Amino acid sequence: MNRARVFICISIVSLSILAILSACAAAPKEIPPESAASAHSGGVKWTAPTRWEAKPASGMRAATYIIPAAEGDSEGAECAVFENLGGGVQANITRWIGQFDKPDGEPDQKSETINGLPVTTVDVSGMFKGGGPMMGQSGAPKAGYRLLGAIVEGPEGDVFFKLTGPAKTVAAAHDEFQAMIKSIKK
C-alpha cells in the first residue's frame, strides 16, 4: 500500500510538471499587429506607402521609412518623421532649405489645410549638405539630391515629414509622399 501511494504521488507530480512545461511550450496567442503602414505622432495619424520599409522609432524620430532606389540611382531615399522639433514652421522650412548648397532654382513652398490641419510643404533640390548628426544625417555633401518636406500643425504639436535622397528616387516617390501627407488626420 505504501508503494502504491508513492507511485500515485510521483505520477501526480510528474503529470503536473508535464502540464506546466507543456503550457510554457505552447505557441503564443497570435495578436494581429497594427498595420505597418499606419502610424501616428503628435495627435496626427497617417498611412505610409506600402512599398516603403518602416523602421522603428528612435531618438528624435517618431518614424523612419526607407524608399528603394529608382532605376539609375545608386542609393535609396529616406523619409524621417519628427515631432516637436521647436523653432516653429517657417524656421524649420528655412533650415531645411539651408541644408542645400546652391539650390537648383527657387524652393517651392506652399501652405494648405488637409483634413482640418494646417500643412506647410517645401520642395528643394541641389547639393545636399545633410541635416547633421542630430538628425541622423551626416557625411560629405551630395550632388543631385532633393528634399520633399511637410510640417503638419497637429493638436499635440508640429509633426515634420522630411524625405531626402537622390533626385530620381525622390521624384519616383513624389506621388506616394503626397498621398501620405493627404492621408493625415486627427
Q: Which residue has the higher pLDDT, 159 or 132?
A: 159
Q: Which of 69, 44, 40 is nearest to 57 (CA)?
A: 40
CATH number at residue 73: 3.40.1000
Which is it for strands 117-128 and 142-154: parallel, antiparallel or unpaired?
A: antiparallel
Q: Is residue 33 part of a domain?
A: no
- What local confidence, expressed as pLDDT, does residue 1 receive? 54
Report the number of distinct structural domains present in the chain: 1
Structural domain includes residue 9? no
Q: For residue 7, is it within any domain?
A: no
* pLDDT computed for residue 139 by the predictor: 65
pLDDT of 25-56, one tens digit each?
333 322 233 344 567 777 899 999 999 999 98
Question: Distance between CA 90 and CA 93 in Å, rounded?
Answer: 5
Task: Answer whether residue 13 shows pLDDT above 60.
Answer: no
Does residue 1 lie within any of the structural domains? no
**132 occurs within a structural domain:** yes
In our burial notation (b when 16+ CB lie closer than 10 A, e otherwise), range 112-124 reads eeeeebebbbbbb
Alpha helices (H) along 51-129: 89-98
Q: Grid coordinates in use for 158?
A: 508640429
Distances (CA, A) of 116 to 46, 92, 154, 159: 14, 21, 10, 15
Mean pLDDT over 121-148 rounds to 80
Residue 169 identity (one-letter amino acid): T
Q: Does residue 112 lie within any of the structural domains?
A: yes
Q: Which domain holds residue 95?
A: 38-182
What is the predicted pLDDT for the residue at 39? 77
pLDDT tens column, 68-124: 999 999 999 999 999 878 888 999 999 999 999 878 889 999 999 999 999 999 999
Residue 6 lies in a domain: no
- 140 by DSSP, 3-state: which? coil
Q: What Cα–Cα distance (Å) separates residue 155 from each residue in 43, 54, 82, 149, 183?
A: 6, 24, 15, 19, 16
Q: Is residue 124 part of a domain?
A: yes
For 158-181, what is each residue's pLDDT tens digit? 999 999 999 999 999 999 999 999
Could you tell me which residues come within 8 angstroms of residue 99 by beta carbon, excluding any fewer than 6 positions away? 128, 129, 130, 131, 147
Identify whether the C-beta of residue 167 lies closer than 8 Å to the C-beta of residue 145: yes
Q: What are phi and psi of 181, to 5 degrees?
A: -65, -40
